[in-house]
Amino acid sequence: MKLAVAMSGGVDSSAAAAILKEQGHELVGFTMQLWNQRRGISVDENGDPLPSRCCSLDDVYDARRVAEELGFPFYVLNLEREFERDVVQPFVASYLNGETPIPCVSCNSRLKFASLDQLAASLGCDKVATGHYARVEYDESSNRYRLFRGRNLQKDQSYFLWELTQDQLSRALFPLGEMSKPEVREVAREHSLAVAEKSESQEICFVPDGNYAGFIDRYLASEDAADRLPGEGELVDASGAVVGRHAGIHRYTIGQRRGIGIAGPEPLYVINIDAKKNQVEVGHQDELLSREFTAAGINWVAFEKPDRPVRAEVRVRYRHTPAVATITTIENNRVRVRFDEPQRAITPGQATVFYQGDEVVGGGWIVKA
């Protein structure tokens, strides 16, 4: 087949390309330039650009080098404007609304895959290949494409792909879905790829130091929008009594323990953030437990919208162990999820993904009730 290959400059996408090339496919490589690290926003205390291991110029160079080593054409897509509009700005707005966003989901499905899928179709490519640890299969009985977790559950990335449509899944190819990370690195070594020993990216690409609040401060300042920053406000307990002051709601997330700034006989955690009141509610660990939440923007992958409650294992964040729950559809493409057992720190802004075994049934965005 003729395949469009997403090249991030990392070992996973490079090994995926090597596997497909060895299988005899015709490849066209694409890297997406998403964020200008030299804008003066993602910087250290000296104003120097922070090193990034994702979506940086070094990654573009690495991707080009791998394409040259494997012998297929390579192009760079400049999507900086779309990335800022569709990923960065919603990320900032979500924090200012008292949520904790996960931009990698919308980046993967709405920007990276959608953009490459459209370009690939215009170039006559049969499928779009990426280095995700996930699997897709076509089920004739239901006439649907089904999405599954990667065989290596520790590296599984199906959580980031639940928004893919049936049309997109029909052209998706995940060569690493059956492999472990050591096996992938061995493929890169066998092909003498320059990135074989390259370390992995752990942080959000445009916030390489993990300081989300600092990024938001600098971003809004660069946009002459510092007036959007939330000021100091009240720390309250569950009864509404004021117990301290906070430095801005965008500096807090549900479940946070450190950096609250007040001490008590027992550890205190952030249990709620009220953007309208500019308040951060703190409490004890047991107050983080809850059974129910609402999710919006639902995408059903395994079937069309169900007409009855669905039993599934549900994740409420990437590293959360799926827990059994009942999912009931409600109005406005939303669902109500009720766990059999209480779960900790269910956080608005995060993605929730529904599984039945290894299959992705669907997913949505956790919202405030």
Residue 104 a catalytic site member = no
39-47 CB contacts, 8 Å cutoff, 24+ apart: 39/222, 40/218, 40/222, 41/206, 41/215, 41/218, 41/219, 41/222, 42/206, 42/207, 42/208, 42/209, 42/215, 42/218, 43/218, 44/209
Task: Classify strands 351-356 and 310-315 as parallel, antiparallel or unpaired.
Answer: antiparallel
- Three-state SS for 334? strand
Task: Classify strands 323-330 and 279-283 as parallel, antiparallel or unpaired.
Answer: unpaired
Helix and strand tally (H, E) in the chain? 9, 17
Q: How far apart are CA 176 and CA 154, in angstroms?
A: 13
Q: What angle do helix axes 89-96 and 212-222 make, rounded to 10 degrees?
A: 110
- Is residue 313 within 8 Å of residue 322, measured between CB atoms? yes
Question: Considering only CA atoms, which of 212, 364, 346, 363 is closest in space to residue 290?
Answer: 346
Q: Which of 54, 104, 125, 205 is catalytic?
A: 205
Task: Classify strands 323-330 and 310-315 as parallel, antiparallel or unpaired.
Answer: antiparallel
Query: What tokens were used for 327?
Result: 């999912």
Q: What is the DSSP string of 75-101?
A: EEEE-HHHHIIIIIHHHHHHHHTT---
Residue 54 a catalytic site member = no
- Three-state SS for 324? strand
Q: Which of 54, 55, 104, 107 is catalytic?
A: 107
Residues 6+ apart with CB under 8 A from 222: 39, 40, 41
Q: How far apart are CA 190 and CA 264, in angstroms?
A: 56
- List, by residue number, the catalytic residues: 107, 205
